[in-house]
Amino acid sequence: MNNKIFLEAGRIVNTHGVRGEVKIQSFCDSADFLQQFDTLYIDETPIPVLSSRVHKNFLLARLKAIDDVDSAARLRGKSIFVDRSGIVLPDGQYFIADLEGLTVYDAKTGSTIGTLVEVLPLPAGDVYSVKGEREYLIPAKGGFIDEVNVEEGYLKINLVEGLALDEN
């Protein structure tokens, strides 16, 4: 996909109406985030966004050259990508793609716990799946997360009872 850096941001799950709008399930914190993009990418092809709005946690979008329900239906199941260059996230927010693969350390002892392999979006909040000698499920909340350093490639966590490394 050229020399741009792309992130998978959603999937077209259905059509909406008869004028070719597509219904996009957002993989971002909210569908509102996707509204900032003038261009979305499908199969490495840039598609200009003519208009968009959020409806029931989905983004409804009119895309250039998609002007009827049949052409919109052909996009069902396609992944939507965004160009991440120029996206500035607020402090303390990260792209999942940047978190996955980080080395995870115990903030207190400095010992390596494992690698963050997946971010699980659960109703009560995200949970980090960390694999080392065993799997740890770490809530992505302030009391558990001590430091995130994407540039250096690590995450420090505060182990609590039930998450301790010694299981004797």
50-107: per-residue pLDDT in tens?
A: 999 999 989 999 999 999 999 999 999 999 999 888 787 878 788 888 899 999 999 9
Name the band, by pLDDT with cuts 50, 70 and 90, for residue 162.
low
Q: Are strands 21-26 and 79-83 parallel, antiparallel or unpaired?
A: unpaired
CA 138, 57, 95, 75 dihedral sign is: positive
Judge if 6-83 and 96-157 fold alike in CATH terms.
Answer: no
Residue 116 is classified by DSSP as E
Which residue, chain included where needed, has tokens 């109703």?
A: 123
Which of 1.10.10.60, 3.40.50.300, 1.20.58.390, 2.40.30.60 is the CATH number of 6-83?
Answer: 2.40.30.60
Locate the domains of the chain by residue range: 6-83, 96-157
Nearest alpha carbon to residue 80 among 130, 37, 112: 37
Alpha helices in the chain (DSSP H): 69-73, 96-99
> Which CATH number is 96-157 given?
2.30.30.240
Per-residue pLDDT, 2 = 53
pTM of the predicted structure, to 2 decimals: 0.69
- Distance separating alpha carbons of residues 152 and 132, to the nearest angstrom: 19
Nearest alpha carbon to residue 33 among 59, 11, 55: 59
